[in-house]
Amino acid sequence: MEVRNKGRFVFWADAVADSAIEHARRNSMLMVTVKSGGSPSGGKHIGNMNDQIRAFFIYDALTRKGVRARLIYTNDDMDPLRTIPPSAPNGDGEWHFFTDQELATLEKHLGWPYSRIPDVFGCHRSWGEHFNSVIQDGLSRIGIVMENYDNSESYASGRFLEATRLTLSKTVLVREVLSRFQRNVEKNWIPFHPVCGNCGKITTTALSFDLGSETVEYECKGRVLAGKYVIKGCGHRGFSTLKEGKLPWRLEWVAQWKVFQVNAEPFGKDHYEGSWKSGQALAREVYGIEPPASLVYEFFLVNGEKMSSRKGNAYILHDLLKVLEPEVIKYLYTKRPMMQRNIDLKNLHLLVEEFDRFEESFFKGGSEEAARIYPAIVGKVPDRKPLRVSYLLASYVIQFYPVEEAYRSLVRAGVVKEEACEEDRERLLRRLVLAGNWLSMFADASKYVVKRELVEVDLNGFKQAFKELVEELSSLEEFKGEEIQNIIYSTARRHSIPSSSFFEKLYMVFTGRGSGPRLGYLLAALGKEHVVTRLKTLLQTP
Ligand SMILES: [Zn+2]
Ligand SMILES: [Zn+2]
CATH number at residue 373: 1.10.10.770
Instruction: Report CA(297)–ligand 1 centroid distance (Å).
Output: 30
Q: Judge if 404 and 480 occupy the same domain.
A: no
Torsion sign over Cα 48, 50, 56, 58: negative
Instruction: Report CA(93)–ligand 1 centroid distance (Å).
Output: 10
Asked if the structure places residue 133 within a domain, the reply is: no
Q: Judge if 412 and 472 occupy the same domain.
A: no
Instruction: Report CA(247)–ligand 2 centroid distance (Å).
Output: 18
**Type of residue numbered 127:** W
Tell me which residue range forms the domain holding 504.
463-540
Instruction: Report CA(236)–ligand 2 centroid distance (Å).
Output: 5
What is the per-residue pLDDT for 1? 46
Q: Judge if 433 and 481 occupy the same domain.
A: no
What is the per-residue pLDDT for 404? 95
- Whole-angstrom distance, CA of residue 48 vs CA of residue 267: 9
Q: How many domains does the chain have?
A: 2
| Ligand number nearest to the C-alpha of 131 | 1
Q: Tens-of-pLDDT digits for all 542 residues of the chain? A: 445 555 689 999 999 999 999 999 999 999 999 999 999 999 999 999 999 999 999 999 999 999 999 999 999 999 999 999 999 999 999 999 999 999 999 999 999 999 999 999 999 999 999 999 999 999 999 999 999 999 999 999 999 999 999 999 999 999 999 999 998 899 999 999 999 999 999 999 999 999 999 999 999 999 998 888 899 999 999 999 999 999 999 999 999 999 999 999 999 998 998 899 999 999 999 999 999 999 999 989 998 999 988 888 999 999 999 999 999 999 999 999 988 889 999 999 999 999 999 999 999 998 999 999 999 999 999 999 999 999 999 999 998 899 999 999 999 999 998 888 999 999 999 999 999 999 999 987 767 776 667 778 888 889 999 999 999 999 999 999 999 999 999 999 999 999 999 999 999 988 888 888 899 999 999 999 999 999 999 898 77
119 in Cβ contact with 129 (< 8 Å): yes
Residue 249 gets which letter from DSSP?
H
Instruction: Report CA(38)–ligand 1 centroid distance (Å).
Output: 18
Q: Judge if 434 and 358 occupy the same domain.
A: yes
CA nearest to 55, candidates 76, 33, 26: 33
- Whole-angstrom distance, CA of residue 517 vs CA of residue 519: 6
Phi, psi of 186 (to 5 degrees): -70, 150
Which of residues 393, 409, 441 is at a domain's end?
Answer: 441
Parallel/antiparallel/unpaired status of strands 245-246 and 264-268: unpaired
Q: Judge if 471 and 413 occupy the same domain.
A: no
pTM of the model: 0.93
Asked if the structure places residue 201 within a domain, the reply is: no
Q: Judge if 362 and 394 occupy the same domain.
A: yes
Number of neighbours of residue 137 by Cβ within 10 angstroms: 16
Q: Judge if 409 and 477 occupy the same domain.
A: no
Instruction: Report CA(53)–ligand 1 centroid distance (Å).
Output: 23
Instruction: Report CA(207)–ligand 2 centroid distance (Å).
Output: 14
Instruction: Report CA(98)–ligand 2 centroid distance (Å).
Output: 26
Instruction: Report CA(253)–ligand 1 centroid distance (Å).
Output: 26
**Type of residue numbered 395:** S
C-alpha angle with apex 376: 41 to 76, nearest 5 degrees? 20
Residue 444 gets which letter from DSSP?
-
Instruction: Report CA(83)–ligand 1 centroid distance (Å).
Output: 19
Instruction: Report CA(197)–ligand 2 centroid distance (Å).
Output: 7
CA distances to 7, 15, 297, 358 from 372, in Å: 15, 13, 20, 11
Phi, psi of 193 (to 5 degrees): -120, 105
Helix axes 422-441, 403-412, angle to 10 degrees: 120
| Ligand number nearest to the C-alpha of 220 | 2
66 in Cβ contact with 104 (< 8 Å): no
Asked if the structure places residue 42 within a domain, the reply is: no
| Rg (alpha carbons) of the chain, rounded to whole number | 29
Asked if the structure places residue 96 within a domain, the reply is: no
Q: Judge if 436 and 467 occupy the same domain.
A: no
What is the per-residue pLDDT for 94? 97
Question: What one-character-per-residue DSSP string does 201-217 give?
Answer: -S--EEEEEETTTTEEE
Asked if the structure places residue 190 within a domain, the reply is: no
Instruction: Report CA(39)–ligand 1 centroid distance (Å).
Output: 16
| Ligand number nearest to the C-alpha of 235 | 2
Instruction: Report CA(45)–ligand 2 centroid distance (Å).
Output: 32
Asked if the structure places residue 385 within a domain, the reply is: yes
Starting at the earlier edge strand, list the strands of the sheet with 341-343: 305-306, 300-302, 341-343
Instruction: Report CA(185)–ligand 2 centroid distance (Å).
Output: 23
Instruction: Report CA(252)–ligand 2 centroid distance (Å).
Output: 22
| Ligand number nearest to the C-alpha of 237 | 2
| Ligand number nearest to the C-alpha of 198 | 2
Instruction: Report CA(133)–ligand 1 centroid distance (Å).
Output: 8
Instruction: Report CA(241)–ligand 2 centroid distance (Å).
Output: 16
Instruction: Report CA(111)–ligand 2 centroid distance (Å).
Output: 9
Instruction: Report CA(434)–ligand 1 centroid distance (Å).
Output: 26
| Ligand number nearest to the C-alpha of 93 | 1
Q: Judge if 394 and 426 occupy the same domain.
A: yes
| Ligand number nearest to the C-alpha of 112 | 2
| Ligand number nearest to the C-alpha of 96 | 1
Asked if the structure places residue 510 within a domain, the reply is: yes
Q: Judge if 328 and 383 occupy the same domain.
A: yes
Instruction: Report CA(190)–ligand 2 centroid distance (Å).
Output: 18
Q: Judge if 429 and 512 occupy the same domain.
A: no
Asked if the structure places residue 104 within a domain, the reply is: no
